[in-house]
Amino acid sequence: MEKRNVIISVKDLVKNYDDFKAVQGLNFEVYENEIFGLLGPNGAGKTTTLEIIETLRQKTSGEVIVDGFSIDKDPNAIKRIIGVQLQAAGYYPNLNLIELLELFSGLYGVSVNPMEMLAKVNLQDKAKAKYKALSGGQKQRFSIATTLINSPKIIFLDEPTTGLDPQARRNLWDLITDIRSQGTTVVITTHYMDEAEQLCDRVAFVERGQIIALDTPDQLIDNLIASGFERKKEVKKANLEDVFINLTGQEWRED
């Protein structure tokens, strides 16, 4: 956090679909090696914003610079330094995980050892399995493995923990924290505030295509309390999720 090198800068980003304004003048910066969270309700424009930065979608106007490359001029240079996990993306049918990783290393033009990639996300024993046969958490971890193939500077994770059970979610948090500690910048979207609070260094709240707040989770909470907000219910020292984890065990289950 100390150096605050800007790795992504988004200025006045606008995206219109016909007559629907999905993104209306977004401005934010992502710093190198932080976990940056985009939060907001469904349809707020999070995914659209992400996909524009990922060069998958054309913007209507504005400027996006990723690691010094403009998305207008150098989309291919950007593709080579980012890893992308799409919400609900599928993989080539009938191939096992090793073969899928071989395919992606060909697509990225790098040579990697597929088993090492699987080891990074703890899926070695699923090497010969088909993607479809994986559990929800395993699918997400495999998706993350494909984002790491080109040793990217930034990875984008779009709702990686949606639909996972608490153990799988925590397991994924560990993985994401781990990836960040290797020097990778992480941009993540989520609906879970506990997740954002645990994981993200800074979060931006997006609502109707605009950013309505951007700061560290701590600071945002402090600001709210300073404004006189108080929870209706007294906060206990544990919540129901703690109970769940306590009863069903901490360790990650394969299925």
Report, in Å, the least distance between residue 17 CB and other proteins: 13
Stretch that binds other proteins, among 3-11, 48-56, 193-201, 236-244 (CB under 8 A): 48-56
Per-residue mark of binding to other proteins, 63-92 (x: CB under 8 A)? -------------x--xx-x-x-x-xxxxx
Report, in Å, the least distance between residue 27 CB and other proteins: 24
Closest to other proteins by CB, 25 or 75: 75
Per-residue mark of binding to other proteins, 143-182 (x: CB under 8 A)? ---x---x--------------------------------
Distances (CA, A) of 171 to 83, 95, 244: 20, 25, 15
Check: CB of residue 154 under 8 Å from CB of residue 185.
yes
Size of the site for other proteins (CB under 8 A): 29
How many other CB atoms are there within 10 angstroms of residue 208's CB atom?
14
Closest to other proteins by CB, 91 or 205: 91
How many other CB atoms are there within 10 angstroms of residue 180's CB atom?
17
Closest to other proteins by CB, 102 or 165: 102
Report, in Å, the least distance between residue 79 CB and other proteins: 5
How many other CB atoms are there within 10 angstroms of residue 107's CB atom?
12
Distance of CA 99 to the CA centre of its chain: 24
Of these, 33, 48, 49, 105, which contacts other proteins (CB under 8 A)?
Answer: 105
Alpha carbons 76 and 79: distance in angstroms, whole number: 5
The DSSP letter of residue 57 is S
DSSP string, 228-248: T---SSPPPSS-HHHHHHHHH
Q: Which residues bind other proteins (CB under 8 A)?
A: 54-56, 76, 79-80, 82, 84, 86, 88-95, 99-100, 102-109, 146, 150
